Amino acid sequence: MDSRKIIVSYRLPANIDTEKYATMLAVGQTTGSWDEAFPDQQAEMANYRADVLDVLPVDDKHAIARIAFPSQNTENDIPSLLTAIFGKFSLAGPARICNIELPEKYGINAQFGIEGIRKQTSIYDRPLFMGIFKPALGLKPENYATLLRTVADAGLDLIKDDEIMFNLNSAPTLDRVKACQPIIHEMNDKHGRQLLYAVNLSGRADQLVSNARQLIDAGANALLFNVFAYGFSCLEALSAHPEVNVPIFTHPALAGVLGGSTSGNNDYGIDYNILLGTLMKYAGADAVLYPASYGSLPFDHQIEMQIRDILRSADKNRTPAMPVPSAGIHPGIIGTAYQDYGNDVVLNAGSAIFDHPLGAAAGVRAFQDAWELTKSGQPVTLENANSQVLIDALKKWGEEK
């Protein structure tokens, strides 16, 4: 592959002249048709044109066209990339982006990734467990501090804000950080390792970096960011900034607007492996949340595995990013998740920690007990469970299948 080319695969409906359509796309997204107005520039213009590499049928209903774009058509970032390859054509009729291959050094590399997050948490030899503050709205900062103390003392590795916990009057973001920061220090002293609290970063694009700095100065040791709501340009600003020196966890909120149904019957939009894999990776995310296929949201297992592989991919220009399968994660899926992910994963749970029948500390311990079973090669079943906290969790959310 020419290292200066961007190769984009578009899924097209098979009931059209796909060759012609692909050529229209390649020309329409780049030089357009051109006349002889500037004869001296003809050769130069040709350098910006995209070329159709091939158009191959995939099934009765679809063909995939691969088109090569010169990377010089972009500014080496995600917004110019997406505009250059799909800006106009997304409105032109059925076409769905199902793959993007980018040049080696494209975009931004994560500052932390898997290795950085492990170093921060001092945990190297097992999956990490993350909680999500619940309830998301209506609590005071000191309530979150109380919740945090409970789960941190039980040994939770990471916690995050819910994605709808904005800078609201009831619990301003900076106040949440200030309330939780002493607990993190206290627990660090007690347990000898640091809990990461991914604080939901919000605000206007021109103030996001300074908002992040303010939270970090107050003790925030990780950030959560709603990329699809704020824009990839905002993520890039954060991940490229040397003073935003904490891991950035990206949230998939609104991804469904761009990705639509995961049934594969979609003729528009962008596939989830690109939205939650490739684009996050090349915009510098350290850890990426996305729906787990064995969770509460409808999500395809094959897509989940593609996202995992894209995030964890590495070469000399690219650090592996941490996969964070989410939504409906509970102790009964730890065994299955371990088969899919091994150790390099953050398992992220809201209800299964904070709604555990015996309380949030029991919720954390149920995950730890489930992990002990998995580590020793036993399925996480009621039969194998040897603690009340795990038994209660498996009764409420189900055992390993």
Angle (CA) 379-383-385 rounded to 5° is: 75
Which of 88, 119, 140, 395 is an active site residue?
88
**Mask for 208-247, x = binds a second copy (CB under 8 A):** xx----------------x--xxxxxx-xx--xx------
For a second copy, the binding residue among 1, 2, 16, 32 (CB under 8 A) is 32
| Residue 191 phi, psi (nearest 5) | -100, -10
Of 160-168, 179-187, 316-324, 390-398, which part binds a second copy (CB under 8 A)?
160-168
Considering the complex, state which of residue 199 and residue 380 has its C-beta at the smaller distance from a second copy: 199
Number of residues that bind a second copy (CB under 8 A): 96
14: left (phi over 0), alpha (psi -120 to 50) or beta: alpha
Annotated catalytic residue 88: yes
For a second copy, the binding residue among 256, 320, 379, 398 (CB under 8 A) is 256
Interaction residues for a second copy, span 10-29 (CB under 8 A): 29
DSSP 252: -
Interaction residues for a second copy, span 380-399 (CB under 8 A): none
Is residue 174 within the footprint of a second copy (CB under 8 A)?
Answer: no
Torsion of CA 387, 392, 397, 401, to 10 degrees: 40
Is residue 4 within the footprint of a second copy (CB under 8 A)?
Answer: no
Considering the complex, state which of residue 66 and residue 241 has its C-beta at the smaller distance from a second copy: 241
Return d(Cα 362, Cα 151) in angstroms, integer.
9
In whole angstroms, the minimum distance from the beta carbon of 340 to a second copy comes to: 19
Interaction residues for a second copy, span 283-312 (CB under 8 A): 291, 297-299
Return d(Cα 78, Cα 321) in angstroms, integer.
17
In whole angstroms, the minimum distance from the beta carbon of 72 to a second copy comes to: 7
**Mask for 117-146, x = binds a second copy (CB under 8 A):** -----------------xxxxxxx--x---
| Residue 198 phi, psi (nearest 5) | -80, 105
Of 187-195, 251-259, 332-340, 376-384, which part binds a second copy (CB under 8 A)?
251-259
Is residue 254 within the footprint of a second copy (CB under 8 A)?
Answer: yes
Cβ neighbors of 392 (< 8 A, separation 6 or more) are 356, 357, 358, 362, 366
In whole angstroms, the minimum distance from the beta carbon of 214 to a second copy comes to: 14
Considering the complex, state which of residue 232 and residue 371 has its C-beta at the smaller distance from a second copy: 232
Asked whether the beta carbons of 117 and 246 are under 8 A apart, the reply is no
Is residue 56 within the footprint of a second copy (CB under 8 A)?
Answer: no
Return d(Cα 216, Cα 65) in angstroms, integer.
45
In whole angstroms, the minimum distance from the beta carbon of 25 to a second copy comes to: 12
Interaction residues for a second copy, span 341-380 (CB under 8 A): 350-351, 354-355
Return d(Cα 134, Cα 164) in angstroms, integer.
11
For a second copy, the binding residue among 4, 20, 88, 395 (CB under 8 A) is 88
In whole angstroms, the minimum distance from the beta carbon of 239 to a second copy comes to: 10
In whole angstroms, the minimum distance from the beta carbon of 130 to a second copy comes to: 16
Return d(Cα 350, Cα 363) in angstroms, integer.
10
What is the residue whose two structure tokens read 């009931």? Answer: 15
Asked whether the beta carbons of 291 and 325 are under 8 A apart, the reply is yes
Considering the complex, state which of residue 52 and residue 373 has its C-beta at the smaller distance from a second copy: 52
For a second copy, the binding residue among 3, 36, 44, 377 (CB under 8 A) is 44
Return d(Cα 365, Cα 383) in angstroms, integer.
18
Does residue 11 sit in helix, strand or coil?
Answer: strand
In whole angstroms, the minimum distance from the beta carbon of 87 to a second copy comes to: 3
How many CB atoms are closer than 10 A to CB 230? 20
Buried/exposed 184-208: b ≥16 CB within 10 Å, e otherwise: beebeeeeeebbbbbbbbbbeeeeb
For a second copy, the binding residue among 79, 264, 320, 398 (CB under 8 A) is 79
Interaction residues for a second copy, span 185-204 (CB under 8 A): 202-204
Bridge partners, 287 (sequence order)? 249, 322
Does residue 50 sit in helix, strand or coil?
Answer: coil
Active site residues: 88
